[in-house]
Amino acid sequence: TLDRSSAASDVYKRQLPAVEAGSLGPWPKRWRAVVLEPGHSPSTALAIALKAIGIVSTGSPLEIVERISEDVAAREEGVILFVDQCEELVTVADQNSVAHFVEVISLLAERGQVGIKVVVGIRRDILDSVLGLGRLGSIVARGILLVEPLTAASWEAVVEQSLGAYGYSFEDEAL
């Protein structure tokens, strides 16, 4: 869903819809946004996200990247891949799955192909660990844009939403 209360809310609510509408320039005129969170199995999360836009992600990382490139050219529609909570690669993900995922993302980002963009969201307190992910870390370091921390009110909304996802809430102050 694009309606989130997180540090990435501006990307979800404003930037991705603008990109899908063609705000990145004359070609391609339309873009398909793919949003994923790596979770425990980043390779599976990537496969599910790409399948949602009609791209099969079986095979080697290079084969997957070639398939994405061919799809962009054939449809004349760009693909923007937004990896939210990229820090999960170093906090909760299965390391066997991480290597494959990192290779695909690194290849996509290194190519710099017109019509393919990769954006990652990473918590600042875990940034160093993500920067240690070899080629991906180097790519992130070259293209980094730091975003101002959340305000107290924003943090409260994030915590409330996170607790609500697990069926919890803050205690009533009247108690």
pLDDT tens, residue by residue, 26-64: 889 889 988 899 999 999 999 999 999 999 999 999 999
Q: How far apart are CA 72 and CA 54, in angstroms?
A: 11
Of 14-23, 57-66, 79-88, give the lowest mean pLDDT range. 14-23
Amino acid at the residue 39 = G
In this structure, the number of other CB atoms found within 10 A of the CB of residue 45 comes to 19
Residue 157 or residue 89, greater confidence: 89
Instruction: Please state the rounded mean pLDDT for residues 1-5.
Output: 38
The first and second tokens of residue 52, run together, are 């949602």
Residues 6+ apart with CB under 8 A from 152: none
The CA R_g of the chain, rounded to the nearest whole Å, is 17
In this structure, the number of other CB atoms found within 10 A of the CB of residue 114 comes to 13
E strand or H helix at 116: strand 116-120
The predicted model scores a pTM of: 0.77
Residue in 96, 104, 86 with CA at minimum distance from that of residue 144: 86
Average pLDDT, the chain: 85
- pLDDT confidence band for 159 (50 / 70 / 90): confident
Of 9-13, 37-41, 88-92, 103-107, give the lowest mean pLDDT range. 9-13
